[in-house]
Amino acid sequence: MRPHKRRQRPAPPPPGPPVDLVIEAMGGEGDGVAAGPRFVPFTLPSERVRAEGGGERLSLVEVLAPSAERVEPPCPHFLACGGCALQHWAHEPYLAWKVERLAGTLARQHIEAEILPAFAAAPATRRRLALHARKGSAEAARLGYKARKSWDLVDIAVCPIADPKLQAAIPAMKRLAAPLFEHPKSAPTLHVTLTDTGIDIDISGVERKSGGLSADARMQLAERAAEADFARVTLDGEVAYMARQPTVRLGAATVALPAGAFLQATREAEAAMAGFVAEAAAGADRIADLYCGVGTFTFRLAEIAPVLAADFAGEAVRALTAALASAPGLKGVTAEARDLVRRPVLAEELKRVDVAVFDPPRAGAAEQTAELARSGVARVIGVSCNPATFARDSRTLIDAGFRLERVLPVDQFLWSPHVELVGVFQR
109 is in an annotated binding site: no
SS3 75: coil
Q: Which of 81, 159, 292, 385 is catalytic?
A: 385
Contacts of 409 (CB under 8 A, 6+ apart): 98, 99, 102, 115, 116, 118, 119, 419, 420, 421
Q: Determine whether 344 is exposed, middle or buried from the number of CB atoms within 10 Å of its CB (0-12, 13-18, 19+).
A: buried
**Which ranges in 19-139 belong to alpha helices (H)?**
91-107
291 is in an annotated binding site: yes
Return the biggest CA–CA distance within the chain.
73
- 15: DSSP letter: P
311 is in an annotated binding site: yes
Torsion angle defined by CA atoms of residues 39, 43, 45 and 48, in that order, rounded to the nearest 10 degrees: -90
How many residues are recorded in the chain?
427
Query: What phi, psi does 285 have (nearest 5°)?
Result: -95, -30
Tally of CB atoms within 10 A around 165: 12
289 is in an annotated binding site: no
Taking each continuous run of H as one helix and of E as one strand, the counts in the chain are 9, 24
Q: Which helix (H) or strand (E) holds 167?
A: helix 164-168
Task: Give CA–CA dist 386/99, Å, rounded.
Answer: 13
385 belongs to the catalytic site? yes
Contacts of 48 (CB under 8 A, 6+ apart): 20, 21, 22, 23, 63, 64, 65
Task: Give CA–CA dist 206/56, Å, rounded.
Answer: 37
Torsion angle defined by CA atoms of residues 339, 236, 172 and 122, in that order, rounded to the nearest 10 degrees: -10
Task: Give CA–CA dist 156/154, Å, rounded.
Answer: 6
Contacts of 50 (CB under 8 A, 6+ apart): 18, 19, 20, 21, 60, 61, 62, 64
Active-site residues, by number, are 385
Q: Which residues are annotated as a binding site for S-adenosyl-L-methionine?
A: 264, 291, 311, 359
